[in-house]
A and B are shown apart, each in its own frame.
Chain A
Amino acid sequence: MSPRRAISGGRIDRLRTIRFTFDGRPFTGHAGDTLASALLANGVTLFARSFKYHRPRGVLTAGIDEPNALVTVLSGAVREPNIPATMLEIYDGLNVASQNRFPSLAYDVGALNQLGSKVLGAGFYYKTFMGPVIGPLKGTRFWMFCEWFIRRAAGLGSAGLEKDPSRYERMNAFCDVLVVGSGPAGLIAAKAASDSGARVMLAELDATPGGSANWSGETIDGLPAAEWAAETLRDLKARENVRVLPRTTVWGYYDGNTLSAVERVADHRNTPAKGEPRHRHWTIRTQSVVLATGAFERPLVFPGNDRPGVMLAGAALRYVNQYGVLPGQKIAIFTNNDSAYHTAEALKKAGAEIVAMVDVRDDTSVAGREIAREVGGEYLAGHAVVATEGGAQVSGIKVQRINAATGALSGDPRSIHADCLLVSGGWSPTIHLASQAGLKPEWDNDLQAFLPPKPTQNWVGAGAFNGSFSTEKAISEGHAAGLTAAGATDGKADELPSVDADAFDPNPAPVFEIKAKGKAFVDLQHDVTADDVRLAHREGFVSVEHLKRYTTLGMATDQGKTSNIPGLAIMAETLGKPIPDVGTTRFRAPFAPVSVGSLAGERYGDIRPERLTPMYDWHVENGAEFYAAGLWHRPMIYGLSGESVEQAYVRETKAVRGGVGLVDVSTLGKIAVQGPDAGAFLDRVYTNMFSTLAIGKARYGLMLREDGFVLDDGTTWRLGEHDFLMTTTTANAGKVMQHLEYLLDVVWPELKVQLTSVTDQWAGAAISGPKSRDVLAACVTGTKVDNDALPFMGIVYGEIDGAPVMICRLSFSGELAYEVYSGAGHGTHVWQALIKAGEPFAIVPYGLEALGTMRIEKGHVTGAEIDGRTTARDLHLDWMLSKKKPFIGSAMMDREGLVAEDRLQLVGIVSLDNRPLNGGAHIVEELDEANPHGSLGHLTAACYSPSLGKYIGLALVKGGKARQGTRAFISDPLRKRFGPVEIVSHHFFDPEGSRMHG
């Protein structure tokens, strides 16, 4: 038998033993245990070392508010730090390590930090890392050197460096009513909403829905509350219109009643089921929300309040009633309200000895006094605990008389022997989500707590969330909230379950801190003491927002769930103001830590989808190396064994210029522009005329932005009277589509034009080179392809190996060339037929590198030159600017700055030292390697030109037109490439275009 496991009681399965390890030591627990309850049952009280001072810490709470007992879960090489032991369900093989200690939890070197605690107070980092302003270390980096050690000494757990192999998923959900919290209020709300026909989701952050019913020990509808909750849950789960999500933390409340939640799907199992995610992130869009999130108990602030063995009284009630675990054998209780009396009763019943009931109030209730008498031990009304005794475990407490109204202590302290001290400082409703979807919280002087704010979204609260702490009230409010949320009115309130429970007065005495000598902690997770709060005040941090940032109170993984109100109360007292006048910080999302994996979801390891052309598999099988071009994967080269990239593209280029080559151009953006006004529309969006284009012809077109700069270029083909096929550059397809849709939707809604992305409808294969016509002639049926039938920019329809094709004669390479379009599903079929027909002509497939080389040789522009800063004139495309009609950009393109002679203009660059050039290198007049300066512009593209036998490039150079024929230098300090170049015309190769017109 475990030393602290009660003989009976609890909702654990005592017949199932679970084996796990903590810091390498084997332990056992039972199914239904958390790590905290199982370790407590084994008599473990030391769980962690504190953040700053490395003080020994135990477990303070039994839930998500736990500030102390954070552990690291080890799974293979993966470590997940900062998991509250109170939220971690044990399973066979669970392996857990404690945090922030060296070499072990019991003997920790970092505990020496406590000796320096005088200087480690609030603002330590801010003061320290400014560095000495006087003395021998002034101006040195010595403090930066120290920082490494100091930062190492502080902290929580450390994440591992291994890749997380877990699976995470995202899920979308829609419902009428989302109920957050499944205590009695939430269960009844869900039932009421479901009864009235609403689609309901019920989210519970714990493993076992039921909330306080799981540990209250009360009786509901004649059943023990936990059984009533289980029964109600069974009923709800069986309903078609209810979805219950246990282990699900609703962490954010966003506009439009959209809430975020994370479900810990498989954290309670050694291995997730096949295909099961570890965490599932829910985005829940709901009509309305019932917030039944309960309340958090507050600790009291007094010296030694962080010693292991000090625990919240409500947590102890949960340990004994839900897990059958006694937090100690000789238990003292220290409270400012009635709720802790209930705990005393339950512990006594489970076999613990209550050695003392210490209540700051003189005038305790009759019922309270009665319970105190029944549980035995000393009853010390009007007293306070002023210290705890012991080492890494409470061995006793010191008590002294207190005036609850003034906080003044009197008399001499005296010791009482105890191995556990349970504390209750009152209850704060869990208003975090409401705070994200409401106005400012409202202070309640009776409860000494903030109540939910007025909603700014469609939610309604119930139960302890509202400050209604009795179960009877929770049930009636839950019922009403469920009906309201569902938009129903005729619920049967008289049929609500009856509750048999002790009545207690939840209002605490307004005592938050016992001012006695010694370190009294407000924020246990960040080691912030009451003195730190006062120090911050003395140093001028009087706003609660500044207090939080300066002391770090309420930060870290628990976000101050146990410390915000006590910290605020101490600040208020220091300022001499009432608490509501000091204000409270707004609770922001997330309510509790959210795994990054669950936010990333399926995008983990798969940032973007792949976009593949119809011929992709052929390229792979034929040795292509790929580029990512946006989402597309495009062949770069088809390298032969042992070939470098340069050797491959030079070979491919020579093959095209000397014979014939085939390149996949399916990625070009293709937009069907249809309708009776299509021609007129194109005239408005292109700089040149399209309405006059004959059917069966294509034309090169240029588009400007409204501001006169170049947007995109491409060819547009007229397939019918009202039917055009526009092509765009691969990268700009989406941008152009948006631009055109905007114009039609907003600027010219009267035009009858329909746009459809047909990029994926067509496979495109460009066949180029002096022998390209011969290859087509060998395989195309149903049409001729000679110069008469298919002149430059002409379009014909035919078949290749039985597949319908549309062929347009146009050229990007400067060679005689054609683009062969087929249905995408026929793409590979047609491609293979072209390759086969080209075999007698030594056809080669070529990639983007060769394509790029040929376009540089021809001086054609792409996205590198159409970079959003260049005009048509800069790119020598002013011949395309129609003077007969206005078009998008025409009003702005002649602005002074856009026609200046010294603008960056497109030129060709020839390397004079026969070494490669790089895109991005600067062009300068004078070379100064030590102090590079005086950039005239930059290279946009570069290659080795097999046609010229030189390394060449295109560049945008200041006043480039006037510089043709002059010398300059490239200056590329990053890549240490400097050298002489000649500035020439961008038309390197066949400037007359005789080859492609031939």
Chain B
Amino acid sequence: MVEQESPLKPVWKPGTRGNFSDGVGVYLSETAPGSIVQLAAWHGEEKAIIAAIKKVAGLTLPDGAGGGAATGTKAAFGFAPGKFLVVDEQEGLVAAFAKSVKTETGTVTDLSHGRTAIRITGPKAEWVLAKFFAIDFSLTAFPVGAGRSTVHHDIFAQIQRSAPTQFDVYVFRSFARSFWTALCHASEEVGYEVK
């Protein structure tokens, strides 16, 4: 199978940069999942989709807007009413959902190539992300597992808090390089490591 090429290739520079007077503020990485799948439920079928996510990906999502769950290899979150993003380290998730989600329940859309997953983790992750997005990143307002849809300039982004100081940002692939470059720039202030 042909490997996916990262859109960040020419700007991907592992190592540490910026101001380290207080240590490394954030770690930046690309998670490069094998599968990114969007599920959309018809009105009234939301619970059936949540059940499908549990069945196929083994993730239990809370009922409610923006709820989600994340493990080391898989993640899922609601990003709009009745709409979910499900991510797996492995390929093949879309085929599994295509079997599991019936036409009368909702739709399955493969975005494995269309979105780039950028992970920002570390004590200053909230601070750096607040430079980009008008979203309350505090743990109380944005609990672990939850997802949000937002925008930075012209770049649409879906964000999941996958751990207390860790966020996964999903951006359109064509914007990924621009966003990554801006993210590195914004992280210089707190010191960052690309890994």
A interface residues (Cβ-Cβ under 8 A, vs B): 169-174, 199, 273-277, 283, 285, 602-603, 606, 608-614, 617, 631-632, 666, 672, 674-676, 722, 752, 754, 756-763, 801-803, 823-829
Contacts and interface: CB of A to CB of B under 8 A. Distances in A.
12 contacts: A273-B21, A274-B188, A612-B7, A612-B177, A614-B173, A675-B107, A722-B107, A752-B42, A756-B107, A761-B113, A801-B2, A824-B173
Contacts of A602: 131, 182, 185-186
Given A603-B153, A801-B2, A826 B189 contact: no
Nearest to B110: A761
B153 A608 contact: yes
Interface of B: 1-7, 9-10, 18-19, 21, 38, 40, 42, 103-104, 106-107, 109-115, 130-131, 133-136, 138, 141, 153-155, 172-175, 177-179, 182, 185-191
B38 A759 contact: no
B2 A172 contact: no
Given A172-B134, A274-B188, 4 more contacts: A285-B136, A674-B109, A761-B114, A801-B2
B26 to A, nearest CB: 12
Contact of B189 (A174, A276, A603, A761): A276
A758 B114 contact: yes
Nearest to B116: A760
Nearest 3 A/B pairs, CB to CB: A275-B188, A825-B4, A761-B114
B158 to A, nearest CB: 12
Nearest to B136: A174
Contacts of A617: 9-10
B32 to A, nearest CB: 9
A762 B113 contact: yes
Nearest to A630: B154
A758 B135 CA distance: 25
Contacts of B172: 757, 759-760
A803 B186 CA distance: 36
B130 A759 contact: no
Contact of B19 (A275, A612, A757, A802): A275
Contacts, number: 139
A756 B115 CA distance: 12
B51 to A, nearest CB: 18
Nearest to B38: A756
Contacts of A611: 174-175, 178
A613 B174 contact: yes
Contacts of A825: 3-6, 112-113, 173
Nearest to B36: A761
Contact of A610 (B9, B38, B177): B177
A173 B107 contact: no
B174 A760 contact: yes
A620 to B, nearest CB: 9
Contacts of B114: 758-762, 824
B131 A823 contact: no
Contacts of A826: 2, 4-5, 113
Nearest to A632: B174
Nearest to B39: A754
Nearest to A800: B2
A609 B173 contact: no
A199 B138 contact: yes
A632 B177 CA distance: 13
A69 B114 CA distance: 57
A826 B113 CA distance: 8
Nearest to A826: B2
A614 B174 CA distance: 7
B109 to A, nearest CB: 5
A823 B34 CA distance: 12
A252 to B, nearest CB: 16
B88 to A, nearest CB: 15
A441 B112 CA distance: 58
A614 B45 CA distance: 36
A4 to B, nearest CB: 37
A632 B187 CA distance: 26
Nearest to A828: B5
B186 A169 contact: yes
B5 A276 contact: no
A754 B40 contact: yes
Contacts of A722: 103, 107
Nearest to B41: A754
B5 A608 contact: no
A826 B179 CA distance: 21
